[in-house]
Every structure is written in C-alpha cells, then in structure tokens.
Amino acid sequence: MIDQLEYNTEREHLIIPEYGRHIQKMINYATTRETKEERNKVAGAIIAVMGNLQPHLRDVPDFQHKLWDQLFIMSDFKLDADSPYEKPEREVLEARPEPLGYPQNFPKYRFYGNNIKTMIDVANTWEEGEMKEALVYTIANHMKKCFLNWNKDTVEDRVIFQHLYELSEGKINLKGSTEDLTDSSSLMKTKRKFTKNTKTKKSSNTRNRKRY
C-alpha cells in the first residue's frame, strides 16, 4: 500500500499548475492517440473541461483562443491536433525580449537632478520674448532651491547663472543680468514651513486616531 504512494517531487512537472495534474494527464493521453480524428475529439473534450474550471474568464476576449494556446503549451507542443486558431510556436513564446535601453545620465551637477536639463532643453526651443525669459528665471530659481537642498548655507546668484550657462551649453546666459533671484532665506523659509506643516498634520492625525 505504501509502495503505491506518489510524491509531488517524483511526479511529472506541471507546465501550468493552475489546471492541476488531472488535466495534464488528460493532455498527455491525447498526445498518445494514434489518429488525428481521435486526438481532435479528446482535445475538444479537454478544452471544455478547461473552460469549466475557469468560468470567471468566459467574458474575457479570445477566451477560447487562450484555452487552445494553453492546451498546446501543456502538451509541450507535442499534440498534433486541429485548432480553430493559429497554433503557438515554442520559439516565439520562449524568445527573450530585447533589453530596454536605460538612460545613462551623468550630470555634472547631480544635485540639480535630470529634470533640470530637460527643462533647459525645452527653454532653448522657445522663441526669445517675455515667456522665455520668465521660464529661464523660473528654472534658475528652481536650481537655486535645489542647490540649497544640497548646501543649506547660501549660494550667490552668479554661481547659479554660471551653472545654467554650462548646462545650456552657452545658449542661456544670465551672467550679466541685473535681476536677482529669489532670496536664499525665503527659499529656505518656504521649505521649513512646508516641513513644519507636514509634521503638524501627521501629529494631528496621530492624536485623532481612535484607540480600541
């Protein structure tokens, strides 16, 4: 009696475990039938059983197509039976996708982030005028804020203008500008205020939390 017990570790590997071992055995049986007529008959019966096992997928588009694809996959592509759909190919299913290209950005000033370079490139495409000037100074102020996040002391506007000149490859030049950027203390004050409000809100939520 004990000698007839089977352990899963000794059994055949299930290609799609969701269908269970009985479906796998039925498919293995279908591949051993000698005539195509008999294989077609058994394959149709298996498809019906597979559909009954997943009634929640009946409304999914191409439901039958998926069942037939799974049937051939579970037969390890050995089942020679007629299908109402194009049979899947092992080479296509096992083909590995091409590796995605990862953006290799090595910015000179990492504390500004990669988005700053994108913003500068967009500004370079704009026509000269008040709109472009406003965008350029917005970028410069954002760069100053990013710089202060990295160096919390202070930074002179001429440093930001020089970095902007370098990152824009000389296309944006504010080094001779007489207009000042937002004061460092104001930028840091805004940051501290935001941090304080966030902590206060979290503390309030903690106090108001129900205790059971």
Nearest to 38 by CA among 76, 24, 46: 46
Confidence tier at 210 by pLDDT (50, 70, 90):
very low
Confidence tier at 3 by pLDDT (50, 70, 90):
low
pLDDT for the residue numbered 131 = 92
Mean pLDDT of 97-111: 74
Domain boundaries, the chain: 12-94, 110-188
Position 172 pLDDT exceeds 60: yes
Higher pLDDT, 178 or 125: 125
C-alpha triplet 30, 32, 35: angle, nearest 5°: 85
| Cβ(137)–Cβ(157) below 8 Å | no
Confidence tier at 180 by pLDDT (50, 70, 90):
confident
pLDDT for the residue numbered 47 = 92
Mean pLDDT of 21-29: 91
Mean pLDDT of 164-187: 85
Confidence tier at 27 by pLDDT (50, 70, 90):
very high
Q: Model-level pTM? A: 0.47
Phi, psi for residue 86 in degrees, rounded to 5 = -65, 135
Distance, CA of 34 to CA of 160 (rounded, Å) = 80
| Cβ(172)–Cβ(165) below 8 Å | yes
pLDDT for the residue numbered 153 = 73
Mean pLDDT of 17-41: 91
Most confident of 116-130, 144-158, 186-200: 116-130
Q: Which contacts of 168-177 are long-range, i.e. CB under 8 A and separated by 24 or more positions?
A: 168/120, 168/123, 168/124, 171/124, 172/120, 172/123, 172/124, 172/136, 174/136, 174/137, 174/140
Mean pLDDT of 42-71: 88
| Cβ(178)–Cβ(171) below 8 Å | no
Distance, CA of 84 to CA of 92 (rounded, Å) = 19
Confidence tier at 204 by pLDDT (50, 70, 90):
low
Confidence tier at 62 by pLDDT (50, 70, 90):
confident
Mean pLDDT of 97-120: 78
- For the beta carbon of residue 35, count every other beta carbon within 10 angstroms: 8
Position 212 pLDDT exceeds 60: no
| Cβ(160)–Cβ(116) below 8 Å | no
